Amino acid sequence: MAAEIAAGAGLGLLVGLLLGLSVAQIVGGVVATLSALLAGFLGLAAPAGAPDRSWRIGAFGAFCAAGVLLGLSIRSGAWLAPSIASDVRAWQQAGYSQEQARAFVAFQRLGLKPDNATIAAKPAADASSNALFADQAGLCARLAHMPAAVQLRILSGSGGAYAALAAAAAAAADPPASLAAGLKPLCG
């Protein structure tokens, strides 16, 4: 019986977390496609005389609901997102003053337009709006609409291959073109 509960609980928690953390509609489609496999695993289509799977089905349902609530709580509470202080530090490492960095973070998170800025709308939510996606795609999303000089500062402060790319682009005859060419393989 414990194995039945553990099997249903594990699968239910996985499915619930996937649904709760997801901002993409594709996950719902994937779960719907997998429902036939889940039915087989849970024993909904078990032949007559098969062992009772009620504990597995019950555990799946309960833990799936708990997983959805946990996933929604993680996503809406931004538990995995970088802190405001770390975002301000990142802008400062890119060469901005603390006041400018705070203004940019307020724009990123709240859509409050910084003084003397020409951008009027908050960026649309995308993969960079959550720490689950705070990787190469997140960096590329941050760089997408910035001037080349700002891109160079951010890349220089990122270290590693990004700093090397910034140094090579800055040393080139046409830094903006060189930077765009270097970012194309990284960011698509």
Which three-class secondary structure state does DSSP give residue 115?
A: coil
Domain map (residue ranges) of the chain:
2-77, 84-187
Which pLDDT belongs to residue 120?
46
Q: Evaluate if residue 39 carries a pLDDT over 80.
A: no
pLDDT in tens, 52-77: 677 777 888 888 888 888 888 888 87
Q: Angle between the 175-187 and 136-143 helix axes, to the nearest 10 degrees?
A: 140
Q: Evaluate if residue 49 carries a pLDDT over 80.
A: no
Which pLDDT belongs to residue 19?
77
pLDDT > 90: what percent of the chain?
2
**Cβ contacts of 150-157, under 8 Å, gap ≥ 24:** 150/94, 151/179, 151/183, 152/179, 153/94, 153/95, 154/90, 154/94, 155/179, 156/94, 157/90, 157/93, 157/94, 157/95
pLDDT in tens, 106-123: 887 777 777 766 654 444
Enter the pTM of the model.
Answer: 0.46
* CA atoms in the 13 A half-sphere facing the CB of 150: 15
pLDDT tier for residue 89 given thresholds of 50, 70 and 90: very high
